[in-house]
Amino acid sequence: MNNFEGTLGLAKRAGKVVSGDLIWESIRKKQAKLVVIDADIGMNTRKKLNDKCAFYGIEIMIAPRAQTIMNAIGQNRKAIAICDQGFANALRKWKGT
């Protein structure tokens, strides 16, 4: 596990990660500070998330490897929303690892 995955796991344990259908609501309400998607997410879902995040001004980040989210939070998810600015900033720091 690298520090990116560790930060995701810590955010999950802190209750600052939203997944599943709740991602869309967190984006719409601007509770999401950052949306993280796995590298192997489907193209339709990627486009929908990109469009929604662009409309609401929320940054979207592609995880460095496939299954990064699953390894970090222990759930088979392809996308999550980070609802805390501190965790979002920490994840931006690891971009490209």
Per-residue pLDDT reduced to its tens digit, 39-90: 899 999 999 999 999 999 999 999 888 888 999 998 999 999 999 999 999 9
Q: Which residue has the tokens 């929604």?
A: 52
Q: Quote the number of domains for the chain.
A: 1
pLDDT of 1 over the 90 cut: no
Q: What is the CATH number of the domain that holds 55?
A: 3.30.1330.30
- Give me the domain span that covers residue 38: 3-93
Give residue 95's pLDDT band: very low, low, confident or very high (50, 70, 90).
low
Give residue 97's pLDDT band: very low, low, confident or very high (50, 70, 90).
very low
Rounded to whole angstroms, the Cα distance separating 68 from 1 reads 9
CB 60 within 8 Å of CB 5: no
Rounded to whole angstroms, the Cα distance separating 40 from 27 reads 21
